[in-house]
Amino acid sequence: MAPLLSLLCADAQERSRLALLAGEAGYGVRSAGRLEDVLELLGGRRPDIVLIADAEKDDAAAHAREILRVSPTMPVVVAAERRDASRAVELMRLGVCEVVPPPWTRESLEACLDKSVRSAGTAISLRPLPKRRRVPAYFLALAVFLALCFGVLSERHAAQERARKAARVDSWSAPYRHPAGLDFDGKNLWAADWFAQSFFVHALPDLNIVRTVHYTNQTPLDILFAQGASWRLSASGVITRGLDDQDLTPLQKYRTNPGTVSMAYDGIYLWTLDNKHVLHKHILDVDLTEIASYHCPDPDPTAVVYDGRTLWVLDSSDRELVRLNLNRPDEAVGYMPLPEYADGRYRPAGLAWDGRNFWTIGERIPHGAGPARIFKHPTLRVGS
């Protein structure tokens, strides 16, 4: 319920103006032109505050004195017609709670009315007043507290992150021993084992083997999924294009360079890598025609992959990934070491790209002495 204000103002125009301002300030207004009307109101429903307009003809001091005589605890506010500090203080000494300076505005009137409704006397003391706690000190204390909380929380988060990172599994043991190639079909990871003459299909993220594709009459070295087809490379140097179905149903065979060990597709050309360290560029015509060849710059390339931007070659002797210039693949433009192979227990044999990370498969040293291992490599900074 809006507080009730009794307005005393002889001038009708000023009265309506003040009533409007007080109404805008949130007060219910009862206007009166004469003191008697206000005193009558005090006897009925008692207003919360009285506002008197001060004018030369209409002395607010006399009105305030009379109102305070009848109702001593009534907050009285005077709206001064002229700005006169002495007059204002004189009115305040009489008991007026506040004097609104001219020009009257809703803001100044509202401030004075609100403040007058809650008023108390002056505290006096011989000793200096106790210092108020300053707002900046509050903010400073709050900021220090928040900074401490943030520090503790971020340290906890960092510790959890470290623990999570330490607990994260990024290498898996495989049940076969002679891996030759690796590729990602968009959903699963395919590993070729030349000794088992099989492709092993690993489902992400835990790399369980969900399928095995075995060949009795050929030795698979690598597999590639491109242009909605599967491309199988066998040790005889034959590439078999097949359907991307359950049985990889063969459609066409191509004879390529003997000793081919790996394949990659860059969206236009098929790239093959042979064991003489030469990269061959083929167009996808009926003969898989070779249009160019480049000598790899690294000493022992064993696999090639396209990551959506350029070609990468897996160097098994230096245990690193070599980034090639796509236009001139005989030029290396970056190197990414593979610390997972630093202990020398595995020799990297296959390489795949899943859209975010490189995957490699390593053969236990010496050849096939133990189960192969698949490594997922974090995104690393490429050195030049």
Q: Does 108 engage in binding with another protein (CB under 8 A)?
A: yes
Q: Does 166 engage in binding with another protein (CB under 8 A)?
A: no
* Piece in contact with another protein (CB under 8 A), picked from 121-129, 182-190, 198-206, 255-263: 121-129
Q: Which residue, 37 or 90, is less far from another protein as judged by CB?
A: 90
Q: Does 114 engage in binding with another protein (CB under 8 A)?
A: yes
Classified as helix, coil or strand, 22 is helix
Region class of 227: left (phi > 0), else alpha (psi between -120 and 50), else beta: left
Q: Which residues of 287-325 are buried (b: 16+ CB within 10 A; e: fewer)?
A: ebeeeebbebbbebbbbbbbbeeebbbbbbebbbbbbbe
Residues in 33-92 at the binding interface with another protein, rule: CB under 8 A:
83, 85-86, 88-89, 92
Q: Does 110 engage in binding with another protein (CB under 8 A)?
A: yes
- Distance CA(112)–CA(378), nearest Å, equals 68
Q: Does 115 engage in binding with another protein (CB under 8 A)?
A: yes
Q: How far is the CB of 67 from another protein (least distance, A)?
A: 15
Q: How far is the CB of 18 from another protein (least distance, A)?
A: 17
Q: Does 167 engage in binding with another protein (CB under 8 A)?
A: no
Q: Does 124 engage in binding with another protein (CB under 8 A)?
A: yes
Q: Which residue, 126 or 268, is less far from another protein as judged by CB?
A: 126
Decide the pairing of beta strands 4-8 and 28-32: parallel
Q: Does 147 engage in binding with another protein (CB under 8 A)?
A: no
Contact 349, 316 (CB under 8 A): yes
Q: Is 269 exposed, middle or buried (0-12, 13-18, 19+ CB in 10 A)?
A: middle
Q: Does 120 engage in binding with another protein (CB under 8 A)?
A: yes
Q: Which residue, 11 or 84, is less far from another protein as judged by CB?
A: 84
Give the C-alpha distances (Å, rounded to integers) separating 195 from 163, 215, 216: 39, 11, 11
DSSP 8-state class, residue 383? B
Binder of another protein out of 1, 43, 57, 93 (CB under 8 A): 93
Q: At what angle do helices 60-70 and 85-94 cross, to 10 degrees?
A: 20
Q: How far is the CB of 380 from another protein (least distance, A)?
A: 55
DSSP 8-state class, residue 18? H
Decide the pairing of beta strands 171-173 and 373-377: antiparallel
How many positions of this chain bind another protein (CB under 8 A)?
33
* Piece in contact with another protein (CB under 8 A), picked from 100-108, 166-174, 311-319, 357-365: 100-108
DSSP H/E element including 69: helix 60-70
Binder of another protein out of 56, 103, 123, 268 (CB under 8 A): 123
Q: Does 134 engage in binding with another protein (CB under 8 A)?
A: yes
DSSP H/E element including 60: helix 60-70
Contact residues toward another protein (CB under 8 A) are: 83, 85-86, 88-89, 92-93, 95, 98-101, 107-108, 110-112, 114-115, 119-129, 132, 134-135
